[in-house]
Structure formats: structure tokens, C-alpha cells
């Protein structure tokens, strides 16, 4: 394909378009090119962030500062109904990690906008897709339709969260600029009476009634349907700005050559279905999740290396995209039972910012693009000139997009391999259309999975690039204009500058070989990128030429908290692992950041009076460079002692006393319901669905009684989500169950009953059913798919399918207090129904010294089936100026069949299932763990077979160490409520 031709009618719309608003505010308006905020066109460079996946609000600011430093000016945020509403009519927006006002305040402090995504449905691989789990009993009605019961269920949620969003809109000085009203809801029938259309209208009305005035958005679920655009069969329910989600990467953890195929029809898609609106990708692949039984994220870097950002995100720019949000930008952790069954504890997602909050090369490359679009305002109004294989280049191995600004004639040629998965090194030349005519630029190289943006007539400050075959990283307006270019070491690049007054000569400092040619008022410089940094000085201009690793450590901290950063509102810093902020006062440049390895810091401020660099409070004498910057040496953490204690001094106790008949279950809930609101029919009566009795999350324990010694087997069906498992005991003797299958949500077993364990009367079957979350709506009935026991029937030799179950009584127990949410700090999904959980054994200050506890370690484990709780404490004393991301590593001998959960200071922060996998390392953030002080650790070990189970690895470790001035070491006691005697009532 050589060139996309559009209808003349579309060009007419494009050229004559005026800005559009939602008629409620003019602070956020749009046209076919881009969004305008506060009167200025902006490129929305956003990243998805889920505060639920980080229960420590103070860490939100850490993450936001890292986003801002890496070029993001916005975050996209789901607000999970399930997290805030433990019971019907109950809403918590204030306690600890549910305090969304702190989210808004931190975003504003960090200088980033918020794109709100407030449901009612989210998906997001979170428990129930974000639906309130109290609706998992079927009481919400027909989900995601205009059903009146469903409407009455979600409307209070929208009212409550909507009022908070409205109070924090940009119209009121807050950070919220857009509001997505539902998630990937496909409009399959374009009719005003269709239930989905009516539903969308209802949600819009509810948000407006709550006070929302910013524009509404939506997100199409890939190129599958044409939903909710005012430009395509608008029969109702349409939003102000249509968006298209896309995950094109072909995720693979095992084959580096799989996938990596870019999509090249976004431009055409938007031209067809949302031509009066800017091209918007609300969820573009920042990574991808892996399932139970799959590969762990550390092994999944084939398509999510720096090249992924370089090729895919520039490909989007080439198709006129001016709003892009990466899903995920930081994934976080599915702590507690917050995960949907399709994922395990980690939600790292191979995102640019790791689950541990660490920056890796993929984020650094993502930053290069973010800093480029921050200052390249000519990108915000472009039309497609042409595109295709061999377009404007002399090689069929290269694909080119050419877009151009109609007002300034600035051009952008985005070049990539025609076969985007190619790892070949391709040399080519390009014919670039400039104000000086067609210029043939030679010696361009794409080294495999690499992309470049070649610019023409690119204005920066008081200067103009006639063209450049090196990527523009950014530019700043200081005492002189400072331009920053980057390329891979060894690549040759050309750039030409127009109208340089008295160009004279130039001075080169660095390893790049640079030559120049002056023709009229245009000076052309040719260079081969050397290692590190080269600086070119000429009259009124400084040009940094950076190789890629050096560019990754280039920072442009803004001097404003406005997310819309202008070129003269930046300071340039090179060298550290992270720069959070920078400012100048009284001859001192103050730089706040993080650093791992000792390095040279270089700062360009445009202020010739700078004599001192203040790095995190450390005053350093500054050495001036010939081109106007200042440098100093900053320390790393190489010599810093970080001592992590061994995990010893364990106490343990049986956490399954319920399996023996003598256990007192008089306070348990009797299963006596014969009907259910669930859309799923029970396999036996009474109803045994756990949600029907108010137990939504975590493991459930059942006790079923029957009389008679002539019973031969029991037929049990359980459901707990993918890879869940269950066990059953007869009068304390294991009779079997299912150890779990990563492909099965529901499992059935007919378990023989050993005659030697049967009694004439009052036999007891104890069933423990694990829990991996409620389903998203992509699975059958979604959150309304029941959990726990779906059916249980006794079998005898006389009949294999009796009309009655044979049981005379069933009882159930689950998390302490059920939906009462007795631990609002940790929230409604942190705990399950294991005996030790109910009694609060993992909580700080619990003293495991009663006679039921003994000295035993998880490394000794169990010699038969059962569930054991292990408790210990440890102290940490990490220096207060260090960020040391910590984790717990677990391992077990091959063949171990067990389910292990980890608690740190009462937070369930890991599920280790060695027979299913894949996760063995579990990050624990500051605030959940005390970097300075006492910590409580607890493990539950569920041995699912009679050989028992034990761990062979159990240790605390660090992912790295960074000197910082961010306060990671605080008094976290408000996040760590302690054990109270009232827990004893839940035995």
C-alpha cells in the first residue's frame, strides 16, 4: 500500500473544523486534531494506574512523581466499586487506601491530570471486574443492561463517586479532565430502544446529575464494533470523545520472534468512525498480564523491551494519535483477594514502571517519546500526507508515515521496518519535503526493532530544524536554545538548521565525529553517534547528541505543576537514575531524585550564577562546562550496608480444627436457603453458594452432617475461579478433592467414603474451598457466577443418583464478619475464612504463645494433609534516605501440592501455589512493611495431599537500593491496625 486516500468530504470536515465542547465547560474542548485544555492544545500522554493495587497512599505520590519525570502528563484511573462498597448501601472513600481525595491531591501536587474511569464496570483483571461483591449473590439483576434492578444497584455508586469526581474537576481547580462512563461496552445494535443504548443514557444522566461537567469518553474493545461515537449511527448513548483500545503486541514469554506486529489502520479507523474528534487510544498496550500456570513477568520481555515503546508508540504518533494512555503504566499487586481468576498475585504486567516501583529500560524509552510530545506542539494539528512501504524512502524494507501541520508546514516522517518484527539492520535514504524543497537525506539506519521520527521545519525556541534524521528528544528555551537529539551508538545522522545568524564555526565536545556544511543560511551537520554524550556549541545554540543509554538518563523536570509544560518551564538534568524535581534559588540548583550508582550529574538551567548543586540536600560544588551547564559527582548506594534478617523463630498452630467432629460450630451460619437470586441453578439443595450467606472473598469452610454407615461416596462440585482447589475430610480423614487446574473454574469429584471412618450417626464432611476471585463479565454470568460448593450429594450402593442429597445439615463460615468489613483499613477483600484468618493471627501484636502454638517452621511443614499457620516477627533498620524495594521469596520441593499465603503486618500479599505457578517472588511495599521497625509475618500452609508439604526457600530479599529524599520510612501505624480480643468470637 503506497498511500491512503480519504474522501474529499472528510478533508472538508478536517480543514473547516471548529473546536467542540460538551456545552458544560470550555476548559476542555476538542477538534479532529487534539484536545485543548485551558486554551492550549496538548498531547495527552497518559498511563493507567490503579490505586487499589497499592494500599499505601503515600506511595501513590512516589509513583506519580516517577510518571511525571518520565514524560507522562496524565493518568487513567479505574475506581473499583468493589473496593469502596463492602455491603449494599455502604461506601467508604476515606479510610486509608480508599481515600480518593488523597489521590486527587497527590495527582495535582505531582502535576498530572486524571482521566477518570468510574464504572460501574471496569474489568481490569480485578475481582468481579470491579462490581461490588455483595451483588455476587445475583441481587444486582441483569448486569450492564437497562434492567431496573441493576439500575437501582449502580446508581448510588455513580452518585457517590461522581460527586467526588465533580469536586475535583479541572473546572474547580482539580486534576480531572475526562470521565469514561463504562468500559469496552460494545454497541452491537444501533437502536434507540436497545437496552445498551438506554443503559448508556442512564449512566450519562447519573454522572451529570452528580455534577460532572468534563467531557465523557468511551473505549472500543479493539476493532470489533463501532460503539458510542457521535460520528457513527448516533442513536443515543454516544460520548463526547470516542476511543479505541488496542493490544497488538502478540505477547509471548518464550519466543523472542513471535508477535511484534504493529497495526497500521488506526488512522483509517478513526477517519471512518470519529472524524470530528481527535484520535484517542484509551488503552494501548504497555504490557500484558500472564495467567495462573503461565510464565512470570521477569521471563516476558521479548515484546516488552525498550524496542516495544520505540516502535509501537511512534507508530501511533504516525497515525495522528494525540491522546494515548498506556495500560498498564504501573501494574501493582493483586494483594488480598482483589484479583479476578485470570491473574495471580502480581500485576506487574511487564509495565514500564515495575511492580516494585523500579524504573527499567522500557520506561526510559517510553520517557523519550513523552518528553518529545511534551514540547512538539506542531504535532497537535496535523493531516496525513502519505504512508506506505517504500514511501519517501529508497527501500521497500521501510514503512513511512508522513504527517504535516497545515499552519506551520512542520513535517514528521515516522519510519519503521516494513515487517515490524524484523531484526535486520537496514540502511536507506529519505526524500524529505522541506521549505527548501525536497532534500535527500542519506545514511539513515534502523537497527532491527527501531523506529525514528524524522522532522522537517521543526521550530524550537528561536530556531528551526530544516530537517533531522536523528530523533528529537526534547528542547528547552534557556539563555540559549538547547536541543537534544539521540541515536544508537555508531549510527550516522544529519540535521540542518535554518537562519542561523552569523553561524561561524562550531565547537564539539565529546566522542561523536561531527562535520558541517554551510550553504546560504542553512548549516548542515553530519555526525556518527559516539558513546555517551557529545555537545555541539554554536552561536546562540547548544545541541546535545546522546547515545540511547545516555538519553535514558536525561531528565527535563518542569518548573511548574501545570501538566501542560512549556519549553521554557524545564531544567535539564543528566545522569541520575531518577530526577523528581529541580529548581533554582540564590545561585543553587536544587535537584531531588533517586540514584543507585555513583555518577556525574549535569544540570542546565540557563543561569550563569549557579555555583552549587544541591542533590537531595547534599551541597556539592558545581563545575561549570564550556557550554553553560554545571556538573558534580553524586553518590550511589554501592557502599551502603543493607542488612536483611533471616526469617526465624516461627510459632505455628493448626488452622483446620474444623475438620474434626468435636469442633464447636454453633455460631456458624446455617445453610438453609432453598432459592437463590443467582442466575446459576444449584446442583443440590439447600443452596450452598457462599455469597448467598454473605461470604464473598477468600477461602470458605463448610461442614455437612449426615447419618448412616451405608453411604459409599459423596459427589461434590465446587467453584472458586481458575486454578482454585478444594479438599474434603470425613470425620477428620482426608477423602480427596481437586488440587486445582489453571483452565478450570469449577471442578467435580466423586469421593469414596472409607467405611472405617463412617459412623452410624452424625458423620461430618468438612470441605475447604479456595478462592481465586469472582469472574469478570467476559466469563458467563460474570460476578454472579457462584463460589463455594455448587452441589453435594451422598451416594450409596442402592442408588447413584438419589432424589435427596442425604445430608441433614450444612453450615458455612468465611471471612470474619462477612460483609461487615471489620477491618476497614485493609478493606473487604483482604481476608478469607481460614481459622487463623478469622482469629486475626496475621495481625500485628497478636501473640502466638498460647498452648495451641508450638515451635515449628514452614521449612519443616506438615507430614499429612491440613492447614497450618506460621507466625514470626522481624526487625528492619534500613537507612532513612534509602528506597529499598523488598520482597519475600518462597520455594518448595518438586512435586509439592500446596497452597501458601503470605501476610505482612496483616496484609495478605502473596499466594504461592508451587504445583501451578508461576510466582515465587512477592514484592512488599513500604507502608505494608516497616523499613525501620518491627514487622509481623504470617504464612498459611495448606497441604492438599496426605504426604503433606513444606517449603525449602523462605527469605527476605531486596530488589535494589536507591539513595533518595522521598520519605519512604515513616510511621505507618495508621495502615497497620493491631490484633484485638474481639477476634476470638469468630472461631
Residue 186 gets which letter from DSSP?
Answer: -
The 10 Å CB-count burial string (b at 16+, else e) for 893-926 is: eeebbbbbbbbbbbbbbbbbbbbbbbbbbbbbbb
Vertex 23, ends 17 and 28: CA angle to 5°?
70
Q: Residue 476, SS3?
A: strand
Contact 55, 830 (CB under 8 A): no
Give helix then strand counts, H and E, for the chain: 12, 54
Separation CA 211–CA 164 (nearest Å): 9
Residues 6+ apart with CB under 8 A from 76: 46, 47, 48, 49, 114, 115, 117, 180, 282, 283, 325, 327
In this structure, the number of other CB atoms found within 10 A of the CB of residue 804 comes to 11
Separation CA 403–CA 450 (nearest Å): 19
Q: Which of 125, 184, 488, 831 is catalytic?
A: 184
**Rg value, the chain, Cα:** 30
Nearest Cα residue to 280 out of 515, 456, 58, 42: 42
Per-residue H/E/C for 216-263: EECCECCCCCCCCCCCCCCCCCCCCECCECECCCCCCCCCCCCCCCCC
User: Strand locations in 709-784, DSSP E?
Assistant: 711-719, 726-730, 733-738, 746-752, 763-769
Which residue has 556539592 as its cell numbers? 620
Residue 722 gets which letter from DSSP?
Answer: T
Which residue has 496538548 as its cell numbers? 42
Nearest Cα residue to 243 out of 278, 213, 276: 278
Integer angstrom CA distances of residue 718 from 139, 702, 744, 810 = 21, 11, 11, 15
Nearest Cα residue to 392 out of 437, 459, 443, 438: 438
In this structure, the number of other CB atoms found within 10 A of the CB of residue 308 comes to 24
Which residue has 533498620 as its cell numbers? 877
Question: CA 407: distance to chain centroid?
Answer: 38
Verify whether residue 220 is a known catalytic residue: no
Q: Which is it for strands 216-217 and 176-180: parallel, antiparallel or unpaired?
A: parallel
Separation CA 728–CA 719 (nearest Å): 14
Integer angstrom CA distances of residue 504 from 159, 364, 499, 539, 692 = 66, 36, 12, 7, 82
Integer angstrom CA distances of residue 847 from 199, 240, 974, 981 = 52, 57, 20, 11
The 10 Å CB-count burial string (b at 16+, else e) for 454-465 is: bbbbbbbbebbb
Verify whether residue 283 is a known catalytic residue: yes
- Torsion angle of C-alpha atoms 726, 731, 733, 737, degrees rounded to 10: -20
Q: Which of 283, 285, 303, 868 is catalytic?
A: 283
Nearest Cα residue to 545 out of 452, 634, 470: 470
Q: How many CA atoms lie within 13 A of 39 on its CB side?
A: 0
Q: How many CA atoms lie within 13 A of 33 on its CB side?
A: 24
Q: Indicate which residues carry an active-site annotation.
A: 184, 283
Amino acid at each position: 500500500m503506497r498511500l491512503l486516500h480519504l474522501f474529499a468530504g472528510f478533508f472538508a470536515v478536517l480543514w473547516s473544523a471548529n473546536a467542540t465542547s460538551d456545552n458544560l465547560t470550555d476548559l476542555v474542548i476538542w477538534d479532529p486534531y487534539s484536545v485543548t485544555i485551558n486554551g492550549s492544545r496538548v498531547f495527552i500522554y497518559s498511563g493507567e494506574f490503579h490505586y487499589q493495587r497499592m494500599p499505601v497512599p503515600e506511595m501513590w505520590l512516589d509513583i506519580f512523581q516517577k510518571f511525571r519525570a518520565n514524560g507522562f502528563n496524565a493518568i487513567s484511573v479505574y475506581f473499583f466499586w468493589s473496593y469502596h462498597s463492602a455491603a449494599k448501601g455502604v461506601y467508604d472513600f476515606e479510610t486509608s487506601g480508599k481515600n480518593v481525595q488523597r489521590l486527587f491531591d497527590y495527582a495535582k501536587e505531582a502535576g498530572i491530570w486524571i482521566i477518570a474511569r468510574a464504572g460501574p464496570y471496569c474489568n481490569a483483571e480485578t475481582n468481579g471486574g470491579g462490581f461490588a461483591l455483595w451483588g455476587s449473590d445475583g441481587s444486582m439483576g441483569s448486569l450492564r443492561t437497562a434492567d431496573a434492578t441493576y439500575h437501582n444497584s449502580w446508581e448510588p455508586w455513580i452518585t457517590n463517586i461522581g460527586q467526588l469526581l465533580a469536586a475535583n474537576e479541572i473546572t474547580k481547580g482539580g486534576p480531572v479532565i475526562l470521565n469514561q462512563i463504562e468500559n469496552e461496552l460494545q454497541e452491537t445494535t444501533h437502536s434507540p430502544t436497545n437496552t445498551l443504548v438506554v443503559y448508556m443514557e442512564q449512566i450519562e444522566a447519573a454522572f451529570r446529575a452528580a455534577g460532572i461537567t468534563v467531557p465523557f469518553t468511551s473505549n472500543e474493545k479493539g476493532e470489533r464494533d463501532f460503539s458510542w461515537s457521535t460520528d457513527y449511527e448516533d442513536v443515543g448513548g454516544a460520548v463526547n470523545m470516542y476511543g479505541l483500545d488496542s493490544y497488538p503486541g502478540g505477547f509471548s514469554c518464550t519466543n523472542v520472534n513471535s508477535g511484534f506486529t504493529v497495526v497500521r489502520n488506526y488512522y483509517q479507523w478513526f477517519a471512518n468512525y470519529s472524524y470530528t474528534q481527535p484520535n484517542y487510544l484509551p488503552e494501548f498496550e504497555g504490557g500484558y498480564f500472564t495467567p495462573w500456570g503461565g510464565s512470570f513477568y521477569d521471563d516476558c520481555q521479548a515484546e516488552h523491551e525498550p524496542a516495544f515503546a520505540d516502535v509501537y508508540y511512534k507508530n501511533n504518533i504516525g497515525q495522528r494519535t494525540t491522546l494515548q494512555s498506556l495500560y498498564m503504566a504501573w501494574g501493582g499487586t493483586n494483594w488480598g483477594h482483589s484479583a479476578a481468576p485470570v491473574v495471580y498475585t502480581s500485576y506487574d504486567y511487564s509495565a514500564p514502571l515495575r511492580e516494585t516501583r523500579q524504573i527499567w529500560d522500557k520506561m526510559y524509552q517510553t520517557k523519550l517519546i513523552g518528553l518529545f510530545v511534551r514540547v512538539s506542539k506542531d504535532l497537535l494539528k496535523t493531516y496525513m500526507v502519505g504512508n506506505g512501504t517504500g514511501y519517501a524512502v529508497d527501500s521497500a524494507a521501510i514503512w513511512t508515515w508522513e504527517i504535516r501541520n497545515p499552519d506551520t508546514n512542520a513535517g514528521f516522517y515516522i519510519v519503521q521496518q516494513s515487517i515490524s518484527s524484523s531484526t535486520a539492520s537496514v540502511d536507506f535514504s529519505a526524500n524529505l519535503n522541506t521549505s527548501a524543497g525536497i532534500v535527500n537525506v542519506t545514511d539513515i539506519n534502523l537497527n532491527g526493532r527501531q523506529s525514528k521520527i524524522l522532522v522537517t521545519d521543526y521550530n524550537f525556541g528561536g530556531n528551526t530544524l530544516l530537517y533531522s534524521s536523528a530523533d528529537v528528544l526534547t528542547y528547552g528555551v534557556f539563555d540559549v536554545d538547547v536541543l537534544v537529539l539521540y541515536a544508537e551508538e555508531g549510527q550516522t545522522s544529519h540535521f540542518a538548521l535554518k537562519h542561523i545568524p552569523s553561524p561561524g564555526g562550531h565547537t564539539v565536545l565529546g566522542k561523536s565525529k561531527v562535520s558541517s556544511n554551510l550553504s546560504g543560511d542553512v548549516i548542515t551537520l553530519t555526525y556518527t553517534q559516539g558513546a555517551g554524550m557529545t555537545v555541539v556549541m554554536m552561536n546562540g545554540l547548544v545541541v546535545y547528541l546522546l547515545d540511547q543509554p545516555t538519553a535514558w538518563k536525561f531528565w527535563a523536570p518542569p518548573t511548574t505543576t501545570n501538566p501542560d509544560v512549556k519549553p521554557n518551564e524545564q531544567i535539564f538534568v543528566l545522569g541520575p537514575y531518577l530526577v523528581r524535581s529541580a529548581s533554582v534559588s540564590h545561585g543553587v540548583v536544587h535537584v531531588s531524585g533517586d540514584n543507585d550508582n555513583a555518577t556525574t550529574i549535569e544540570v542546565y538551567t540557563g543561569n550563569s550564577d549557579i555555583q552549587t548543586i544541591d542533590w537531595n540536600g547534599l551541597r556539592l560544588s558545581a563545575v561549570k562546562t564550556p557550554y553553560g551547564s554545571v556538573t558534580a559527582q553524586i553518590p550511589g548506594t554501592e557502599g551502603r550496608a543493607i542488612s536483611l534478617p533471616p526469617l526465624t523463630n516461627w510459632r505455628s498452630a493448626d488452622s483446620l480444627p474444623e475438620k474434626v467432629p468435636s469442633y464447636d460450630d454453633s455460631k456458624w451460619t446455617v445453610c438453609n436457603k432453598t432459592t437463590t437470586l443467582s442466575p446459576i441453578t444449584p446442583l443440590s439443595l439447600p443452596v450452598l453458594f457462599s455469597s448467598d450467606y454473605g461470604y464473598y472473598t477468600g477461602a470458605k469452610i463448610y461442614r455437612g452432617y449426615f447419618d448412616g454407615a451405608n453411604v459409599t461416596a459423596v459427589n461434590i462440585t465446587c467453584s472458586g475461579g481458575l486454578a482454585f482447589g478444594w479438599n474434603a475430610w470425613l470425620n477428620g480423614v482426608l477423602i480427596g478433592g481437586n488440587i486445582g487446574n489453571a483452565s478450570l473454574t469449577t471442578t467435580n469429584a466423586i469421593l469414596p467414603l472409607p467405611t472405617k471412618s463412617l459412623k452410624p450417626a452424625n458423620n461430618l464432611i468438612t470441605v475447604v474451598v479456595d478462592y481465586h476471585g469472582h469472574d469478570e463479565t467476559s466469563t458467563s454470568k460474570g460476578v454472579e457466577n457462584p463460589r463455594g460448593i455448587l452441589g453435594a450429594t451422598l451416594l450409596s450402593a442402592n442408588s447413584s443418583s438419589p432424589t435427596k442429597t442425604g445430608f441433614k445439615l450444612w453450615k458455612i463460615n468465611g471471612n470474619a464478619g462477612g460483609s461487615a468489613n471489620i477491618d476497614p483499613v485493609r478493606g473487604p477483600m483482604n481476608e478469607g475464612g481460614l481459622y487463623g484468618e478469622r482469629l486475626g493471627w496475621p495481625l500485628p501484636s497478636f501473640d502466638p504463645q498460647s498452648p495451641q502454638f508450638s515451635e515449628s517452621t514452614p521449612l519443616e511443614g506438615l507430614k499429612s494433609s491440613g492447614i497450618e499457620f506460621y507466625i514470626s516477627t522481624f526487625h528492619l533498620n534500613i537507612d532513612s534516605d534509602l528506597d529499598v524495594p523488598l520482597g519475600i521469596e518462597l520455594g518448595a520441593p518438586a512435586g509439592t501440592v500446596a497452597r501458601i499465603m503470605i501476610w505482612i503486618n496483616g496484609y495478605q500479599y502473596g499466594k504461592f501455589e508451587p504445583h501451578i505457578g508461576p510466582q515465587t517472588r512477592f514484592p512488599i511495599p513500604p507502608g505494608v512493611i516497616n523499613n525501620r521497625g518491627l514487622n509481623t509475618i504470617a504464612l498459611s500452609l495448606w497441604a492438599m495431599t496426605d504426604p503433606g508439604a513444606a517449603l525449602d526457600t523462605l527469605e527476605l530479599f531486596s530488589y535494589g537500593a536507591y539513595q533518595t529524599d522521598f520519605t519512604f520510612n515513616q510511621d505507618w501505624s495508621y495502615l497497620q491496625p493491631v490484633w484485638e480480643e474481639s477476634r476470638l468470637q469468630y472461631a
